[in-house]
């Protein structure tokens, strides 16, 4: 019986009939499966994405679905009542090559075309509040895929319109980008071309995802800073000109070590990207930065950054500020080339370099400037300087040099007058000062004032400022626990994971405008009490003045001769409790032609 049945099945007509029926069944099943997927997958995807974004989304329909890929029609995230931002994607194409699985790889290309993004700044100053409802992180180890998913994402014709609060016209950004993930999701390569008005930004790079080691090329051509004027607080600053051009090669060393969790956490703490970092893991007790350790994370940069024709107006300053120059990135060295700045009567030139190994070698020069004109640049002081202009005439020049290691710089300031100083009717030929500041000491190397009538005033001194600097660099903080307002994410792009329900006694929602800290381990600066009692000071002042010659312009009575004043003062103690000793002597004093014996005295202040 079985033999006869098998012989019947092997007849050509029967085989053709069964084959045809099977093909029809498979075809019908495939079409049914595809059509079902076309209807159900967008609905399921729409529902799941809405859960995550907490926003309405209209996922497009499948225009094509096959074993080799799919095409999705227009997808939209519309404007919401509480969020004016929107997203439109005209088309999404996904192509994959299943035959690549035979060679342990699965090439996948995702092409997103015709994307339009509209972002509008909200009344509270934030740009977008997306309350993501993400699933809780799993402690399970990542699944090791049996193949290499070689994923390429291509963004074509992306148009981004960003409208700052109060602006009439948005900033329009056109973007094309491509990113590839390969080597079993260990390497990412990317290209970004961005256009803003007449400027262009191009970025190419490759990053090792396990360590964040990266090589990046960045080029910026003629980017106009005025295009970003609406993003700045107009009551504080307004940009009137300036272009930036950049050509950089950036080599970022490994930040994370997949085989050393401690080093990885340390790196994330230093870069502020470890959400579990606390004040104990981020060192803040030592004011001296560990530059040797920090240098292991600093990228090596080569290339140039040029700033041309920069001009801005600052609140409270009467004249615009102009600037320009070039930064030369030379690997371990940053060189300042032809850096200049000007604000009214005040000019400044910066030259020199900062080297990762040898430290600072900077020089700032201030060409001769009229002190009264410089002070008059400040709106609040302009009216007061008008009266001083007729009484004070002083042009000064200054030079500042910064040298020394990165963690132990030394600043030297030298300033002097370039023309005789007129103070009312008193003429002073020379005013000169020189001081040095490092991490431990402020030293007045010398101060000299020489009146045209003769004599001099000299001063020297120093102050021990190491504890003062330590307090300023590392101000005290107070630890406080606060509770977020229910349902209120912080300003920014992405809200944090949902927080536990607040306790009744800490909940405060009576003021809808109140801004509560959402970090339960937040640190707020404590009032800084400067340790003036630790600033030890020493100094001396030496005067030798011919009083008659100095007072001659004031036409004192001829019957009185003031003679000569000599005085020496010494200062010691601390800034909190200074002490001083003043010794003085008045010589050649006479009244009505009769000499008066020299007068002398001393005063002690404690």
231 has a pLDDT exceeding 80: yes
Relative to beta strand 237-252, strand 213-224 is antiparallel
Please indicate, yes or no, if residue 586 is contained in any of the structural domains: yes
Domain shared by 387 and 535, yes or no: no
Query: pLDDT digit string (tens) for 409-422?
Result: 999 999 999 989 88
Domain shared by 379 and 342, yes or no: yes
What's the domain range around 440? 423-472+531-606
Q: Contact 346/405 with Cβ under 8 angstroms?
A: no
Q: In which band, very low, low, confident or very high, does the pLDDT at 592 lie, cut at 50, 70 and 90?
A: low
46 has a pLDDT exceeding 80: no
Please indicate, yes or no, if residue 127 is contained in any of the structural domains: no
Please indicate, yes or no, if residue 335 is contained in any of the structural domains: yes
Query: pLDDT digit string (tens) for 495-509?
Result: 444 445 444 444 444
Maximum distance among all Cα pairs of the chain, rounded to whole angstroms: 159
Please indicate, yes or no, if residue 344 is contained in any of the structural domains: yes
User: Where does a domain end: 419, 442, 462?
Assistant: 419
More confident residue, 398 or 477: 398
Q: Contact 361/353 with Cβ under 8 angstroms?
A: yes
User: Where does a domain end: 388, 403, 419?
Assistant: 419
Domain shared by 428 and 397, yes or no: no
Q: Tell me, what's the pLDDT at 272?
A: 46
Please indicate, yes or no, if residue 183 is contained in any of the structural domains: no
What does the pLDDT average to over 195-215? Answer: 93
Stretch among 1-10, 131-140, 365-374 having the lowest mean pLDDT: 1-10
Stretch among 199-203, 232-236, 339-343 having the lowest mean pLDDT: 232-236
Query: pLDDT digit string (tens) for 164-190?
Result: 988 889 999 999 999 999 888 889 999
Q: Tell me, what's the pLDDT at 65?
A: 72
Domain shared by 432 and 361, yes or no: no
What does the pLDDT average to over 480-495? Answer: 44
More confident residue, 363 or 70: 363
Please indicate, yes or no, if residue 290 is contained in any of the structural domains: no
Return all residues near 159 (Cβ < 8 A) that are at least 6 apart: 115, 116, 117, 172, 173, 174, 175
User: Where does a domain end: 374, 390, 419?
Assistant: 419
Domain shared by 459 and 340, yes or no: no
Q: Contact 300/216 with Cβ under 8 angstroms?
A: no
More confident residue, 135 or 24: 135
Domain shared by 353 and 460, yes or no: no
Domain shared by 415 and 433, yes or no: no
Domain count, the chain: 2
139 has a pLDDT exceeding 80: no
Please indicate, yes or no, if residue 399 is contained in any of the structural domains: yes
What is the C-alpha separation between 536 and 539, in angstroms, rounded?
10
Most confident of 125-139, 145-159, 331-345, 474-488: 331-345
Domain shared by 436 and 406, yes or no: no
Stretch among 78-87, 239-248, 458-467, 512-521 having the lowest mean pLDDT: 512-521
Query: pLDDT digit string (tens) for 78-133?
Result: 887 777 788 899 998 888 887 777 777 788 888 999 999 998 888 877 776 666 66
Domain shared by 359 and 462, yes or no: no
Please indicate, yes or no, if residue 25 is contained in any of the structural domains: no
Domain shared by 541 and 589, yes or no: yes
Domain shared by 446 and 586, yes or no: yes
Domain shared by 428 and 346, yes or no: no
35 has a pLDDT exceeding 80: no
Alpha-carbon distances of 296 from 256, 258, 278, 285, 534, rounded to whole Å: 11, 16, 22, 21, 35
């Amino acid at each position: 019986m079985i033999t006869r049945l098998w012989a019947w099945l092997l007849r050509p007509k029967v085989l053709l009939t069964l084959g045809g029926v099977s093909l029809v069944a498979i075809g019908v099943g495939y079409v049914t499966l595809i059509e079902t997927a076309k209807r159900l997958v967008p609905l399921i995807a729409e529902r799941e994405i809405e859960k995550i974004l907490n926003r309405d989304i209209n996922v497009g329909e499948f225009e094509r679905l096959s074993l080799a890929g799919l095409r999705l029609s227009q997808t939209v995230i519309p404007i919401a009542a509480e969020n004016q931002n929107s997203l439109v994607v005209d088309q999404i194409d996904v192509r994959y090559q299943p035959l690549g699985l035979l060679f342990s790889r699965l090439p996948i290309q995702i092409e997103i075309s015709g994307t339009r993004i509209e972002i509008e700044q909200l009344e509270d100053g934030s740009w977008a509040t997306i309350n993501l409802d993400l699933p809780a992180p799993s402690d399970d180890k990542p699944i090791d895929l049996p193949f290499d998913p070689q994923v390429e994402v291509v963004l074509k014709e992306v148009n981004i319109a960003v409208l700052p609060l109060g602006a009439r016209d948005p900033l329009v950004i056109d973007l094309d980008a491509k990113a590839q993930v390969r080597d079993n999701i260990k390497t990412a390569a990317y290209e970004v071309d961005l256009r803003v008005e007449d400027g262009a930004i191009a970025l190419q790079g490759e990053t090792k995802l396990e360590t964040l080691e990266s090589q990046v090329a960045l080029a910026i051509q003629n980017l106009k800073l005025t295009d970003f004027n609406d993003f700045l607080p107009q009551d504080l600053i307004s940009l009137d000109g300036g272009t930036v051009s950049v050509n950089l090669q950036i080599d970022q060393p490994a930040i994370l070590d997949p085989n050393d969790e401690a080093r990885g956490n340390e790196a994330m703490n230093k870069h502020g990207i470890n959400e579990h970092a606390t004040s104990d893991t981020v060192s803040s007790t030592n004011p001296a930065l560990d530059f040797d350790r920090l240098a292991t994370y600093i990228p090596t940069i080569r290339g140039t950054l040029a700033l041309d024709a920069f001009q801005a107006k600052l609140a409270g300053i009467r004249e615009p500020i102009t600037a320009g120059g070039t930064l030369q990135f030379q690997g371990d060295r940053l060189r300042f080339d032809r850096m200049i700045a000007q604000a009214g009567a005040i000019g400044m030139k910066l030259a020199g370099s900062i080297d990762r190994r040898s430290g600072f070698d900077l020089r700032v020069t201030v060409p001769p400037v009229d002190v009264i004109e410089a002070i008059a640049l400040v709106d609040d002081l302009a009216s007061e300087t008008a009266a001083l202009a007729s009484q004070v005439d002083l042009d000064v020049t200054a030079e500042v040099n910064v040298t020394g290691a990165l963690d132990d710089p030394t600043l030297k300031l030298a300033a002097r007058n370039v023309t005789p100083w007129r103070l009312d009717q008193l003429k002073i030929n020379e005013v000169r000062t020189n001081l040095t500041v490092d991490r431990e000491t402020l030293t007045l190397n010398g101060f000299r004032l020489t009146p045209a009538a003769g004599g001099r005033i000299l001063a020297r001194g120093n102050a021990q400022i190491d504890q003062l600097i330590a307090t300023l660099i590392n101000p005290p903080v107070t630890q406080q626990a606060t509770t977020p307002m229910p349902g209120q994410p912080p300003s920014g792009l992405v809200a944090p994971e949902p927080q536990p329900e607040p306790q009744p006694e800490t909940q405060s929602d009576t003021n809808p405008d109140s801004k509560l800290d959402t970090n339960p381990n937040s640190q707020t600066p404590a009032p800084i009490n400067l340790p003036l009692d630790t600033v030890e000071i020493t100094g001396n002042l030496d005067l030798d003045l011919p009083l008659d010659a100095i007072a001659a312009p004031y036409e004192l009575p001829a019957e009185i001769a003031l003679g000569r004043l000599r005085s020496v003062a010494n200062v010691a103690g601390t800034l909190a409790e200074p002490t001083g000793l003043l010794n003085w002597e008045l010589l050649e004093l006479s009244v009505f032609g009769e000499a008066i014996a020299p007068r002398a005295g001393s005063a002690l202040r404690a």
